[in-house]
Each structure stands twice: as C-alpha cells, then as structure tokens.
Copies of this chain bind each other. A is one copy, B any other.
Amino acid sequence: MRQITRQDLMDLAVGAAFLGTGGGGDPYIGRLMVQAAMDEGKTVTILDPSEVPDDALVIPTAMMGAPTVLVEKIPSGDEAVASLRRLEAHLGRKAFATIPIECGGINSTIPLLVGALTGLPVVDADGMGRAFPELQMETFSVLGVRGSPMVVTNEYGDSALIEARDDKFMEWISRGVTIRMGGAAYIAEYSMSGADVKRTAVPNTLSLGIRIGRCLREAKTNHKNPIEALLQMLPDTLYSYGKVIWRGKVIDVRRETKMGWALGFARIEGVDGWKGTMEIQIQNENLIARVDGKVRAIVPDLICIMEAETAEPITTEYLRYGQRVVVVSVAVPPMMRTPEALEVFGPKGFHINEPYTPIEQLT
C-alpha cells in the first residue's frame, strides 16, 4: 500500500503511453484530472493485489469510446464514480477497491481519479496488460470473470445497465450506447472478488507504467540512452524481453475513424542501416509490423513507436509524416500468451491471418 505522488503521475503518463502501444488515448488528460483532485487535498492509494482480501468486492472503472472525443469534453470524473455507484446499488454491495481494465493510455489514470474522488484504493494490476480496443479483450474475461452487469454513464448522468450473454455482446451493445451518448462515456464492469483479482489480473502494471516513465526520465537526466535503459530494465519485470525492431522515418500515415475506432496503417522507411520499409497496421493500437511482407512483431506483444530524439512514445493520433522514430517490441507476460488468451486478443481477435509468434522468436 502506498500513496501516489505527483512525480508518479507524470511518470505514469509516459509509461502508460508506452504500454498503450499507440492506442488507449493520451494519458495526459487523465493525469491533469488526477492532479486537480490532488490540488484539492485528495489522495490516491494503490494496493498490491496481495493486499486485497479474497472476499472483497473490486469494481473496475474506465473510459469507453474515442479518446479524440474526450479532448473535446473533458470529464469531471463524477461520470466514472456514478457508474461505480450504480453497479454497487445493483449488486447490493459496496466496493472495497477499484482497478484499471487496461494499463495503457488514459484508462490507467481513470481509476486513480475514481480513487481520489471516493477514497477507494486502486489495485496495482489490470485486465489487459497493455491497451486493447474492445471490452472482451481482458484477462479477466479469458479466465472466467464475467463483464456483465456493466454500467455506462455520460456527463449528463444518463446511464445504461447492461447484462449480456457474453462479453463480446456486452462490448457490442455498450459501444452502441457510447456512440449515442456522444462518443465517450464512463463504465464500471467485470465486478469481481479479491480472489478473482489475484487469479485473473496482470499484476503490478500501474507500478510498471510508473517505472517505465521513471526509467526514461532518469536516463535522460543522466545523459544515457533512454531506450537502451528501458530495454535493460524490462527483464526485471513480467515483460521479460524487449528489442528495437526498427529505426526510420514516417513516410505515410493513413487513418480513418470507422465504427468508433481509428483504423489505418503507418509506413516507416528504414534509416541507419535498417533497409526497407516497415508497415504497421492499426486498430487504435499497433497490431502487426511487417517489413516487405515479413512479420517482425505481432499482437498481443507490444509494438511501440517512440520519437528517436526524445524517446517519447507516440500515440496513433500524433503520428505524422516525417517523424524520426524507433520501433520497440516487448514480450507480454505468459498469462497473455496462452491459447485461450490468444483466441480473444491474439491476431485472430483482430481478423489477422498470420499466426502468433512470440517476439523472442522473431528477432
């Protein structure tokens, strides 16, 4: 158990952008919201999963929808709290803690905001181990926790409590509700016991986000190569392997917003001896990287595009022609690579025909 500091928050914003693998939305807005709550004297406590009693009720909270919409209507945080409270009322029980559904992008910070506003602790773990675009793409779901009942609330207090036959249909219905609520809404779902958290969540991913941000920051302060420093740190985590898979210049970016997602690709021409052009396919997140048709990294392993000069992670919406970038791929934890997990958020979950090959074998 420990309290989040302002420096933690700033580091997390960078680390969560890295773990977002291009998607998940810019954590910057989430950071500002939590900081504003801290300015009013609120605090945020994070708990190791081992500190959650087995019979405690844990309710994940998150933003749902297009992060691009979020920028236009910054939430007060009450929306996510309202979803949590409505789910509590429906379950007839109070939550002991909240937890992120994903540790990449803005959704690493929404539970911190809920924690600040309600006083609930936030469990240092999540259900994606990165960012994914759909709600069924959760280790929670793969390992048997049900997403329903789920509550969606918007900034006007409109809400929908959804009970669906499975988590994929829950995603389908709640996506429709979110679109009609204006494209961004706040959710509570996958309510579970402390025992389920320990069994199904990817552990210590809030800490990991903070560590990644801190590692990059300290390397820069000490005039070391930040990306090298990061790759050296990873073997000490569940994300045991990371590698630079490309260096180059962005020569083409295609993006369209369709069905509520950012779909497209980026093409990166090699420099510094990297010959050829890497093409990265995107559905909010970076899904697969190919050079001349040959796979160099594939979902669910992380594919992160970073600015070559500053080592800043670049989210999909900020990709631009001419950027000098380094592409890093990172192995996800073993619990995200089981056949059952790959069925849901491996290549097949994104209608990609190539089989999954771990990044360790591709490099």
Contacts and interface: CB of A to CB of B under 8 A. Distances in A.
Contact of A176 (B157, B169, B179): B179
Contacts of A56: none
Given A173-B180, A176-B180, A179-B176, A160 B162 contact: yes
A125 to B, nearest CB: 29
A102 B10 CA distance: 56
A157 B176 CA distance: 18
Contact of A177 (B90, B158, B160, B165): B160
A156 B160 contact: no
Contacts of A163: 157-160
Given A176-B180, A177-B173, A179-B176, A161 B161 contact: yes
A172 interface: yes
Given A176-B176, A176-B179, A180-B173, A165 B161 contact: no
B162 A173 contact: no
A172 B180 contact: yes
A164 interface: yes
Contacts of A164: 158
A172 to B, nearest CB: 6
A38 interface: no
Nearest to A89: B90
Given A156-B169, A158-B165, A173-B177, 7 more contacts: A158-B162, A158-B163, A158-B164, A159-B163, A161-B162, A173-B180, A175-B180
